[in-house]
Copies of this chain bind each other. A is one copy, B any other.
Amino acid sequence: MTYMEPAINNNYQNLIDRLKEISYLNGVMSTIGWDQEVMMPAGAADARAQQISALAGVIHERMTDPGLGDCLAALKEEDSDSFDLLQACNIREAQRNFDLDTKVPKRLVMEMAELSSRGQHSWVKARKENKFAGFAPVLKQFLALKKEWAQCVFPEKDAYDANIEIFERGTSMADITPTFERLKAELIPFIQTIQERHYQPDTSFLQGTFPVDKQEALARKISQDIGFNFDQGRMDVSVHPFCGGSHPTDVRIKTRYKESDFIESLYAVIHETGHGIYEQGRMPGYQDLPVSESLTMGIHESQSLFWERMIAQSKPFCVHYFETIRTTFHDNLHRATVDSFYQAINTCKPDFIRVEADELTYPLHVILRYEIEKGLFDGSMLVDDLPEIWDTMMMKYLGIKPPTDTLGVLQDSHWSSGAFGYFPSYTLGAIYACQFYRTLLSEQPNIAKNIESGDFAPIKQWLNEKIHSQGTLYTPQELIQRVTGEALNPDYFIAYLKTKYNTIYQLDS
């Protein structure tokens, strides 16, 4: 105990009070955003937009409050030994967020917000008219604004790396490019081989009509079985599958059900459940503080993909649920078997749309977008050339050419809000997921048996302990090292894909 301690505590307590208030208000914002999409009557759209804008103003005011800056400055003067690991993390994260929020001039913030709103409309219109040229001006403006933004927040970084940093802190083109080159070298010829294969799994029993109420009941059951806590969450129907919520104790999954395709709907729910289990597993006692927040988009995606692919697309999972699924959709599945079901849900087929892609072709959709973003930032590609570039790359990577811009370069919403640097997270997440799973397998050799018998608790517990409850204590690079004993390594992902698909497509390995 030293004489100075009360002063230190005051500054830290002041910080915590401010951070918690911001967290509470952000929670409120999440709920009214959810309500807007799921519950709000259509006629309330204008009023809701004004309400959201008012609340956003309050939150921005709190996040950029000079008093918060003073508090952080005072904490910087303190002896760093005064703080434990968690406290130090809260201070570090708060400083990072404060810098991100205050280093950008208000004029630029407003220009980006305005363009984001206009960009959304322009993108929807361009898709409807199937004309990329209508959207190109927005893309050009966003590129200029995001370069300017990068100069403000991370002046020492390349502009595209600065954009990646927001989604994948600590990861840059220097890491991503070689990883993606390796994936291309392995996956492009492998997919080609599969396509040329005479043997193709039978998927006919996955076509037909699958009543939505049965799909919903099945999805809720499986989501709960694998670990989603419905006492601290909800699941509702909406336009886009998404997992959000106002708090780790109020996690909300939205999904949609297609009568013609229960596999897409079911695996979307499992995917979102993976995100939900991450949020529900945040560090108890610190749930309104930065230390408990999810780490990066890639780590978040690793958790959704872990459950969707590593667990739910596995043979043991099919063994456990096949009878339930066959009984649910008896008219369609009566002649299927565990093996034919497993193969049918794991087919590989190049197609135009990223969000519908299988796990083998998905990385190439991502790599294509990454290379385009990189090219746009370094000037080696021009916005006006994108439709042509897109088609050429699709042909090169997946052997197909989209018939329209809407099925090609206009398919994703990300660029309409200027979210450059987001796409790599999807495939980084897949690589993380695979490497985490390999470690889990080595630590819990009975895992396949557990899945076959429907015992998912040890998996959830392992993820809770190793990843979810670690929050932002470590960088993603430190985390993967701590959990798996080595740096992120795409070899495991490639080996997993090859082993699995060699078996399914009866190729010699």
Q: State the A residues within 8 Å of B (CB).
A: 20-21, 24-25, 27-28, 31-32, 35, 39-44, 46-48, 50-51, 53-55, 57-58, 229-234, 246-250, 287-288
Contacts and interface: CB of A to CB of B under 8 A. Distances in A.
Contact of A32 (B32, B40, B41, B47): B32
Nearest to A45: B249
Nearest to A39: B234
A278 B48 CA distance: 20
B47 A28 contact: no
A112 B43 CA distance: 37
A54 B250 contact: no
5 contacts: A27-B47, A31-B35, A43-B229, A44-B249, A47-B248
Contact of A24 (B24, B41, B54): B54
A55 B59 CA distance: 10
B25 A51 contact: yes
Contacts of A25: 51, 54-55, 58
A60 to B, nearest CB: 13
Given A47-B287, A229-B43, A54 B247 contact: no
Given A48-B250, A50-B288, A28 B55 contact: yes
Contact of A35 (B35, B43, B287): B35
Q: How many copies of this chain does the complex contain?
A: 2
A250 B288 CA distance: 30
A20 to B, nearest CB: 8
A232 B42 CA distance: 7
A143 B27 CA distance: 36
A250 B31 contact: no
A28 B54 contact: yes
Among A51, A231, A250, A287, residue most surrounded by chain B Cβ atoms (within 10 Å): A51
A47 B250 contact: yes
A288 to B, nearest CB: 7
A51 B234 contact: no
Among A27, A44, A229, A246, residue most surrounded by chain B Cβ atoms (within 10 Å): A44
B24 A230 contact: no
A230 B51 CA distance: 20
B51 A28 contact: yes
A41 B287 contact: no
A142 to B, nearest CB: 28
Among A28, A39, A233, residue most surrounded by chain B Cβ atoms (within 10 Å): A28
Contacts of A43: 229, 231-232, 249-250
B44 A246 contact: yes
A228 to B, nearest CB: 11
Contacts of A288: 47, 50
A181 to B, nearest CB: 45
Contact of A47 (B229, B230, B234, B246): B246
Contacts of A229: 43
B42 A39 contact: no
A41 B246 contact: no
Contacts of A27: 47, 51
Nearest to A43: B232
A231 B35 contact: no
Contact of A54 (B21, B48, B234): B21
A32 B246 CA distance: 10
A51 B246 contact: yes
Contact of A250 (B28, B44, B230, B249): B44
B41 A39 contact: no
Given A28-B28, A32-B32, A55-B28, A250 B41 contact: yes
Nearest to A24: B54
B42 A24 contact: no
A44 to B, nearest CB: 4
A230 B42 CA distance: 9
A23 to B, nearest CB: 9
Nearest to A38: B39
Among A53, A58, A229, residue most surrounded by chain B Cβ atoms (within 10 Å): A58
A58 B54 CA distance: 11
Contacts of A39: 35, 39, 234
Among A25, A43, A233, residue most surrounded by chain B Cβ atoms (within 10 Å): A43
Contacts of A35: 31, 35, 39
Nearest to A247: B47
Contacts of A232: 41, 43-44
A4 to B, nearest CB: 31
Contacts of A48: 246-247, 250
A39 to B, nearest CB: 7
Nearest to A29: B28
